[in-house]
Structure 1
Amino acid sequence: MKLPKYSISIQSFFIAFIFLLNFSAFAQEQPDKPGASAQELADKLANPVASLISVPLQNNLNYGIGPYNGSKYTINIQPVVPFKLSDNLNLITRYILPVVDQTDITGENTHEFGLSDATVTAFFAPKTKGLILGIGPAFLVPTATEKVLGTEKFGIGPSVLVMHQGKGLSVGFLANQIWSVAGNEDRADVNQFYTQIFMSHSYKSGASLGVNAEITQNWAGNTTMISLNPSIGGITKFGSQVVQFNVQPLIPIVGPHEMRPNWGLRAVVAFVFPG
C-alpha cells in the first residue's frame, strides 16, 4: 500500500506536539517553581503589550485544504521587543515572519516552501493597571520568497489593543486593518482586517487555560475566515531559560471551501528574556 506523502516539516510538527504534551506534565511537577512569580509571568505573557522581551515560535498545521485536500505547515517567528519611551509610556514592537511548507494547495502534487510576507506592529502603550490600551501602526512587508506565498505588496494601517487584566484573568481583543500602498501593480490590492478576541486564566503553577477566536476579513476578495481555538499552556525553565509552551486545536468555523482547512493544530514555544 502506498503511504501518503508528508513533508519533513509536518512530521516534525507531530514530534514537537508529542514533546509538548510530555513537557506539560514535566512542567507541572517542578517542586521548586515559585508559584506567584510563575503566575505573574503567565499574566504578562497573556498581555500583548507587556514590557517583556519574548521570542515565540508558533507552529501551525492545517490539513484538508481546498479541492486537493492540501496540507500547510507554518512556523511564525514572532519576537516581541519593548522600548521605554518615558516613565508612563512604552513602545511594544511585534514582528511576525512566517515560514511556510505546503503541499497540494495550488494544485495536485504541488509543493511550495519559503518565507511568506512579514507583519510588523508597533503599539504605543501607556502604563496602566486593569484596563490596558495600545494603539499604533501595522506594516505588511513583502518578504515572500515565492510568488504564491506572498502578495508582492507593501501595506500599512492602524492597529489597536483593548484588554482588561486582573490577577489570573485576561480578556480583550487586538485588531488591525491593512491596505496596500505600493508594490507589484499586476498583483491584487491588499485590503484586509484581522482581529483576535481572547480570554485566558492562569494558575499559581504558571499553567493557563484559554480560548481565542481569530477573524480575517479580506475586503478585496470578499472572503471571511473564522476559527475558534481553545488552549492549554504552562511555564517552566531549561536551566536559567524561562520557557512558555501552549497547545491549541484550531477549529475552523467560517471560510470558503478553497481556503478553509478541515482541521488544524497549533503548538507554541516562547523563550522569555529579562527586559
Structure 2
Amino acid sequence: MSRLLRPVRVPVGVRSLLAALVVSLLITESAAAQRNPITSFTRVWGEWDVVPNTQWAPKSVDPSALPDRSIQIFKFQPVVPFRLNDDWTVLTRTIFRFISLPTADPIIGLSPAGGPALLGWDQRSQAGLSDISPTAFLVPDLGPDFTVGLGSSLVVPVGDGAIDSGKLSVGPALLAFFHRGPWVVGARMRNVWSVGGESDRDNVNRMVVRGLLRYQLNPDWYMISSPIISADWTQPDGKGWIVPIGGGVGRSFRLAGQRMQASVEAYYNVVKPQVLGEELLGDWSIRTQWQILFPN
C-alpha cells in the first residue's frame, strides 16, 4: 500500500516546460482580456434606419402634404484598423449610404382661365446610393481602457437629385472612448464643409456626433444607446439640429463559428430641423444593426 501512495517524481526539465506553458497560457488569456475593443476587430457593419410619419414637404409648398411617408437609410460601413507599429493604429471607417426619400413630381395642367397651373403633386419615393463618407483616424496605443483618435473625413456625392448632398465636402474627425469591464462610453464626431460640387446646390457645413453608451449584461446580451446628433450650421437660429434620445438591446452570438452582433433600437427625436417653419421629420426612428467581427 505504501508503494502505491509514493509520490511520482517529475523530471526537472518536464516541470520547467509545464511551468512555462502555464505562464504562457495566463499571459495569452490576460492579453485577450485586455484587447482594445475598438481597434482589435475588423467589423463588417450593416445598419438600417427607418423614420416613419414623415411629411414630404411643408404645407406652404403642398397643402395636401401629410405626415404619412417614411425615410429609410441603409448604411454599409466596414471598419478596418491598420496597425502601423506597437504604438500607432490607423482606424478607417467608410460609410456607403442607400437612401429612400419621399419626394414628389409636380402635376401641371390648365387653370380655369386657360393658363398653365400647378394642379398638385405626384408623391413618390426616390431611392439609390447617396453620399459615400470615408474617414480615417490616427489612434495611439493608450492601453486597454482608452481609445482616442484624430483624423479627417470626406463626403463624396454619388447619388442623383434629392438623395445626396451634391457637394464634395471635407473636414476633421475625432473619436474618444472609455472601455472597462462591462462599459463602453464615448463618441465619434466630424464636421465637414463643402469644397466643390454642383453650383446650384446648397453649401454644406454640417456636424455629426454619434455617441455610444453600452453595458454588457452577460456574455450574450447588452444594452446600447448610440444616438446620432447632427447640426446643419447653414440654417439660422439653430433650426438645423436633430437630437434623438433612446436606445435598445443587442445580442452577441456565433453563426457557423463566426462572431456576430445584432441590435434593435428606438429613438425619439426631441429636436427636429425646420423647413419653412415646419418640422417634417417623424418623431421616432427605428434602427437595426448587424455586425460581423473579425479579430486582428
Question: One fold, TM greater than 0.5?
Answer: yes
Aligned twin of 1:131: 146
In the other structure, the counterpart of 2:185 is: 171
CA distance in 2, matches of 1:127, 1:185: 43
Q: Distance in 2 between matches of 1:154 and 1:230?
A: 32
Q: 2:45 matched to 1:56? A: yes
Please state how far the C-alpha of 1:210 moved relative to its aligned partner: 2.3
Select which of 237, 249, 253 maps to 1:236: 253
Q: What TM-score does the superposition give when structure 2 sets the normalisation length?
A: 0.73
| Structure-2 residue corresponding to 1:203 | 217
- Quote the RMSD (CA, aligned, Å): 2.4
> CA distance change for structure 1 residues 219 and 258 in 2, over 3 Å: closer, same or farther?
same
Give the aligned partner of residue 75 of structure 1.
74
Match of 1:180 in 2: 194
| Matched residue, 1:96 | 95
Instruction: Give the secondary-structure state (helix, strand or coil) at the position aligned to 2:99.
Output: strand
The answer for the alignment partner of 1:150 in structure 2 is: 164
- CA–CA separation in structure 2 for the residues paired with 1:108 and 1:171: 46
Q: Distance in 2 between matches of 1:105 and 1:168?
A: 47
How many equivalent residue pairs?
234
The alignment status of 1:267 with 2:265, answered yes or no, reads no
State the identity %.
Answer: 23
2:226 pairs with 196, 212, 215, which one?
212
The structure number with the bigger radius of gyration is 2
Unmatched 5+ residue regions in structure 1? 1-35
Shift >6 Å, 4+ stretches: 39-43
**2:118 match:** none
CA distance 1:105–1:127, change in 2 (3 Å):
farther
TM-score (norm 1): 0.78
SS state of the match for residue 86, structure 1? coil
* The 10-residue stretch of structure 1 (221-230 or 242-251) with the greater mean CA deviation from structure 2: 221-230
- Does structure 2 retain, via aligned residues, the 8 Å contact 1:168–1:201? yes
Provide the secondary structure at the position in 1 that maps to 2:162: helix
Letter in 1 for 2:254: K
2:111 corresponding residue in structure 1: none
Residue 68 of structure 1 deviates from its aligned partner by: 3.2
Name the CA shift for 1:196/1:170 in 2 (closer, same or farther; >3 Å). Answer: same
Residue by residue over 1:211-262, the C-alpha shift from the partner in whole angstroms, topping out at 9 and shown as x without a partner, is 2332111011341111113121011111122111011012111013444212
Of the three residues 226, 246, 250, the one matched with 2:243 is: 226
What's the offset of the Cα at 1:196?
A: 2.0
Listed one character per residue, the Cα deviations across residues 145-183 of structure 1 (whole Å, up to 9, x for unaligned) are: x21101111111001112211111111121111001111
Q: What amino acid does structure 2 have at the position aligned with 1:157? A: G
Unmatched runs of 5 consecutive residues or more in structure 2: 1-28, 56-64, 106-120
2:133: which partner in 1? 119
Separation in structure 2 between the aligned mates of residue 89 and residue 43 of structure 1, nearest angstrom: 13
Distance 1:175-1:60 versus aligned 2 partners, 3 A rule? same
Deviation per residue, 1:80-105 (Å, 9 max, x gap)? 01111111100010011111123457
Higher relative contact order (CA 8 A, sep 6+): 1
